[in-house]
């Protein structure tokens, strides 16, 4: 069996396995994500991220992301930040503004460099999309939630008990109102434009953080009059800063990205590189 080098990284506690597929292509990333993400028998992570060449000249690199259950996600804000740090500090690019192709479009990564290292990254998450009207799911005794698409679907509920996420998350992820399943955020206001948020990610369950979830919460807070255009989103793994830019309504996500460790893992025959 071949050995595949990987890098474990985390952004506000949202941890993924990163593989440079320009050097080590993976034939079956969905199966690899399931095996490698297991926290008892694998590396342990929220999923697998593939860093690749861009399929078009408009972007510098591409990303694909697979959740811990093997399902493919459209993109991930925390993973985008980690990719920016990876590309710069591993010498794959020297620019401090990177265009990254994702399944939900090209994202701009702005690297904030201190003493030659990436201290934080701002991701232009583009313009959010809102449902025509908020959804109300009375069969679960919930207050009205707000549906926000950040290139992937989110349902944000403002509550005074974010710890309900363990019980409500799996039910709402698979609710008939969401035929493609949904990411679920429970948010409690803690101050002016400050929110404590817990998230249930589609395909991964409870995670320490979710970049698109933080963005969706900030958008929902703004449109419902709970915050201004700049907010602090406190998740289990840390705090993310979100700005809803007035000039073009783009959502800007800023937060840390960190290396955890490097390693090699053997592939089973059905996930060997091509």
* pLDDT computed for residue 271 by the predictor: 46
Mean pLDDT of 253-269: 91
Tens of pLDDT, residue by residue over 75-105, are 999 999 999 999 999 999 999 999 999 999 9
Judge whether 75 and 107 are in contact, CB under 8 Å.
yes
| pLDDT tens string 17-52 | 999 999 999 989 999 999 999 999 999 999 999 999
80 is catalytic: no
Measured distance CA(132)–CA(178) in Å, rounded: 15
Residue 80's closest CA among 61, 67, 95, 93? 61
Catalytic: which of 76, 82, 182, 215? 76
Task: Give all domains of the chain, ordered by start, each with its CATH number.
Answer: 3-125+257-271 (3.10.310.10), 129-249 (3.10.310.10)
Q: Which two tokens stand for residue 103?
A: 């399944």
Structure-derived torsion over alpha carbons of residues 205, 208, 213, 215, reported in degrees to the nearest 10? -170
pLDDT of residue 177: 84
Helices (H), the chain: 29-37, 77-89, 165-173, 211-223
Q: In terms of pTM, does the model score above 0.75?
A: yes
Work out the burial of residue 16: count CB atoms within 10 Å of its CB; fewer than 13 is exposed, 13-18 middle, 19 or more buried.
buried
Sign for the CA dihedral angle at 200, 203, 208, 214 comes to negative
| Radius of gyration (C-alpha) of the chain in whole angstroms | 18
pLDDT in tens, 209-240: 999 999 999 999 999 999 999 999 999 999 99
Q: What pLDDT, on a 0 to 100 scale, did the predictor assign at position 134?
A: 60
| Active-site residue (options: 80, 82, 182, 210) | 210
User: CA 151, CA 226: separation in Å to the nearest integer?
Assistant: 23
């Amino acid at each position: 069996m071949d050995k595949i080098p990987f890098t474990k990284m985390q952004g506000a506690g949202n941890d993924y396995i990163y593989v440079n597929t320009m050097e080590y292509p993976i034939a079956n990333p969905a199966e690899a994500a399931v095996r490698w993400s297991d926290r008892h028998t694998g590396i342990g992570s929220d999923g697998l991220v593939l860093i690749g060449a861009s399929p078009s000249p408009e972007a510098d690199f591409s990303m694909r992301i697979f959740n811990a259950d093997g399902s493919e996600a459209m993109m991930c804000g925390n993973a985008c930040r980690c990719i920016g740090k990876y590309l710069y500090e591993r010498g794959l690019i020297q620019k401090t503004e990177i265009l990254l192709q994702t399944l939900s479009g090209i994202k701009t990564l702005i690297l904030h460099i201190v003493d030659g290292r990436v201290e934080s990254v701002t991701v232009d998450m583009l313009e959010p999309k809102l449902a025509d009207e908020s959804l109300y799911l009375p069969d679960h005794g919930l207050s009205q939630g707000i549906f926000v698409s950040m290139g992937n679907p989110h349902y944000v509920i403002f509550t005074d008990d974010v710890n309900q996420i363990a019980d409500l998350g799996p039910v709402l992820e698979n609710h008939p109102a969401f035929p493609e399943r949904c990411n679920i955020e429970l948010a409690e206001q803690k101050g002016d434009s400050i929110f404590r948020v817990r998230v249930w990610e589609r395909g991964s369950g409870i995670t320490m953080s979710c970049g698109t979830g933080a963005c969706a919460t900030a958008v929902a807070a703004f449109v419902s009059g709970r915050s201004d255009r700049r907010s602090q989103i406190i998740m289990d793994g840390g705090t993310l800063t979100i700005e809803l830019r007035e000039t073009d309504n783009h959502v800007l996500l800023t937060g840390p990205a960190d290396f955890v460790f490097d390693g090699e893992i053997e592939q089973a025959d059905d996930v060997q590189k091509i």
